Amino acid sequence: MILINIISLFLLYYLKKSSGPEGFPVHLNRYFNYGMVASGIFIVLGATQLPPEFLFELLSFALVGAIIYLILNTPELEYQKTLAITPLPIIGVQLLEYLIETISPSIYDILENYLDAAGFFALIWAVTMWLNHRKQMKELEIERIFLKEQERQLKATAEQKNQLEALVAERTSEILKQKEELQKALNHLQSTQSQLIQQEKLASLGQLTAGIAHEIKNPLNFVNNFSELSVDFLEEIGEEMAKISDSPEKENILELLEDVKSNLVKIRHHGSRADSIVRSMLMHSRGGTGSMEPTDLNALIREYANLAFHGMRANPKPINVDIKLDFDEKLPQIKLNGEDFSRVILNLVKNSFDAMRDKISALGNEYKAKVEIRTKDLGDQILIEVEDNGPGVPDEIRDKLLMPFFTTKKGTEGTGLGLSITHDIIKSHEGKLEIESKVGEFTRFSILLPKIKSTEKSS
Amino acid sequence: MKILIVDDERDVEDLFRQKLRKEIRSGMLELEFAFSGKEALDILASENPPKVVYVFSDINMPGMSGLEMLEIIKERFPQIQVSMISAYGDEANYKKAMDSGAKEFYTKPVNFENLKKEIASLSTSTF
Ligand SMILES: [Mg+2]
């Protein structure tokens, strides 16, 4: 009977060990442990031959039966089914022996030889089945290893695929970035190109303008000089006429000569007007000659505001103006085309004088004309303000103020190019010109100049 | 004192004769006119040494330009003063003229006050 318990113990031990890497559920392991303890106890009891032998043997059969039942009915042990069949003949023969021996020992004696033989065959069966089972298990194991390897390879492939995908995504984004950069460069190139074309057009227009302006100077030379000459001659004629005795004819001639003289003076006046237009046009088209030099802006403004004032005082129709300079004395030197920029100051200040002259003639002495020029360091920019308390600029003409040949000055006083040139010069310094005004109160021209030009930044 | 005026426009002769009438009448000035660079050089070459002491020349002329003529005059007759009178008073022309030995550079429309002063200074220094 010890054999049955050894089989039980062996089965349990084998099952417990056969658990894969995942292990068995806890309750199954507990069964195995209890079963092993029970079979161990039964083995000891069997060895000591302690009574009641009958109960102990029955329990042994129950235990092995339970184990086989467990193997057959537990899904986790499905693959161990052959293991359940292996000891069956032995158990059968033992059970038979036990039953016969218990029920009728006399019959047992008669059948003992047969039963021994059956036990022997059952043993052979068990060994065969066991070997078979071992073989099956080995195959299963190989299959399991194979599957595991396959799974590992699959996992590796998936990982590789992921890595590749990440790489592809990375490359794609790199290419996209490059594409964007190229697009940007292309756009920049295109805008530069269109700017160049525009500049080219303007340059050729400028050349044409300059050519025309120059050629006009030749006939103007004659117009101005001949008219001047004729005025001189008329004066001489007048002197000679004084020597001739008076007569109605002489009076008539003198009157006519006076008219001719006045006409010639007008021709001379309009000729010099045309000349100043032509000169302004040439300044306009001349563009960017002269170099940008570090300049003390305050000193430049002081000098040219002064010059504008004395020029105005020396010319016809001088006015009284209070000029106030409010300079930021910590202003750093700034790169300027001094010759061009001095024209900006001259133009703006002269412009103020002309505007205020109109207000003086409208309001008389109650009005005190005043021009205030300010400079201020704004960090990366410099602010220059020229503010007068003149008549102001109505909104509807403020936008036109910077257009070439737009002028508010009556008749023949202005060329209409002063502010346009001023604006061009400021633009060539990458600056901005803004005009604020309130009619009847003030006009303020604000110039914002960058301290560092974009051309300097890029180089 | 003989002065040669070079310009492709014929009205220049009337203008100069009238503007400098007093000086011509008084015998202080003698004017001669050439209407191209070549003509001017021919006039200068016709006398040896040339009586002309001062040349006022236009720059923009058909054929030889005033600047080319200036160079030739300065090479052949270095003693003759040359000043340019041009409608093109730009930097490039000015520099070229001065580098080639021009004495003065006048822009059109000509300011005869300045021109007369130049001629007067010349007459006091040479005669
Ligand atoms: Mg000419």
A330-355: per-residue pLDDT in tens?
999 998 888 888 889 988 999 899 88
pLDDT, tens digit, 9 for 90 and up, residues A43-102? 888 778 776 777 777 888 888 888 888 888 888 777 777 777 888 888 888 888 888 887
- Partners of residue A214 in chain B, C-beta under 8 Å: 60, 87-88
pLDDT of the residue at A125: 85
Give the C-alpha separation, B92 to A401, whole Å. Answer: 33
pLDDT, tens digit, 9 for 90 and up, residues B29-81? 999 999 999 999 999 999 888 899 999 999 989 899 999 999 999 999 999 99
> Are A424 and A404 a contacting pair, CB within 8 Å?
no
A326 beta partners: A374
Overall fold of domain B2-126:
Rossmann fold (3.40.50)
Three-class secondary structure of residue A456 per DSSP: helix
Separation of B12 CA from ligand 1 center, angstroms? Answer: 10
Q: Tokens 């019959």 map to which residue? A: A107
The nearest CA of chain B is from the CA of A372 a distance in Å of 35
Contact assignment for B108 to A221 by CB distance below 8 Å? yes
pLDDT of the residue at A414: 64
Contact assignment for B110 to A221 by CB distance below 8 Å? yes
In chain B, the residue whose alpha carbon lies closest to the alpha carbon of A276 is B109
pLDDT of the residue at A1: 66
Sign of the torsion angle spanned by Cα atoms A281, A454, A344, A395:
positive
Separation of B123 CA from ligand 1 center, angstroms? Answer: 27
Give the C-alpha separation, A328 to A379, whole Å. Answer: 12
pLDDT of the residue at A459: 46
In chain A, the residue whose alpha carbon lies closest to the alpha carbon of B59 is A218
Residue A297, token pair as written in the block: 């802006």
The CB-side HSE value for A428 (13 A sphere, CA atoms) comes to: 23
Give the C-alpha separation, A247 to A238, whole Å. Answer: 15
* pLDDT (average), residues B2-14: 94
> Which of A214, A217, A225 lies at the smallest CB-CB distance from B112?
A225
> Which of A217, A233, A272 lies at the smallest CB-CB distance from B87?
A217
> Are A359 and A441 a contacting pair, CB within 8 Å?
no
Establish if A225 touches chain B: CB-CB under 8 angstroms: yes
pLDDT of the residue at A170: 94
The CB-side HSE value for A310 (13 A sphere, CA atoms) comes to: 5
> Which of A218, A228, A233 lies at the smallest CB-CB distance from B87?
A218
Contact assignment for A218 to B18 by CB distance below 8 Å? no
> Are B6 and B69 a contacting pair, CB within 8 Å?
yes
pLDDT at B86 over 80: yes
Ranges under pLDDT 70 in chain A: 1, 20-22, 51, 199-207, 284-290, 408-415, 455-459
Three-class secondary structure of residue A393 per DSSP: coil
The nearest CA of chain B is from the CA of A218 a distance in Å of 6
pLDDT of the residue at B127: 44
Contact assignment for A224 to B91 by CB distance below 8 Å? no
> Which of A224, A233, A286 lies at the smallest CB-CB distance from B109?
A224
In chain A, the residue whose alpha carbon lies closest to the alpha carbon of B111 is A225
Contact assignment for A286 to B19 by CB distance below 8 Å? no
ipTM tops the 0.95 cut: no
pLDDT of the residue at A199: 67
pLDDT of the residue at A398: 82
Q: How many percent of chain B have pLDDT more than 70?
A: 96
pLDDT of the residue at A163: 94
Give the C-alpha separation, A343 to A425, whole Å. Answer: 9
Q: Any idea where the domains of chain B sit in the sequence? A: 2-126
In chain B, the residue whose alpha carbon lies closest to the alpha carbon of A219 is B109
- Partners of residue A225 in chain B, C-beta under 8 Å: 15, 19, 109-110, 112
Sign of the torsion angle spanned by Cα atoms A302, A308, A314, A319:
negative
The nearest CA of chain A is from the CA of B47 a distance in Å of 31
Structural domains of chain A sorted by starting position, each given as residue range(s) with its CATH number in brackets:
2-158 (no CATH), 291-459 (3.30.565.10)
Q: How many percent of chain A have pLDDT more than 90?
A: 36
> Could you give the angle at the alpha carbon of A67 between the alpha carbons of A66 and A73, nearest 5°?
85
> Could you give the angle at the alpha carbon of B46 between the alpha carbons of B40 and B50, nearest 5°?
80
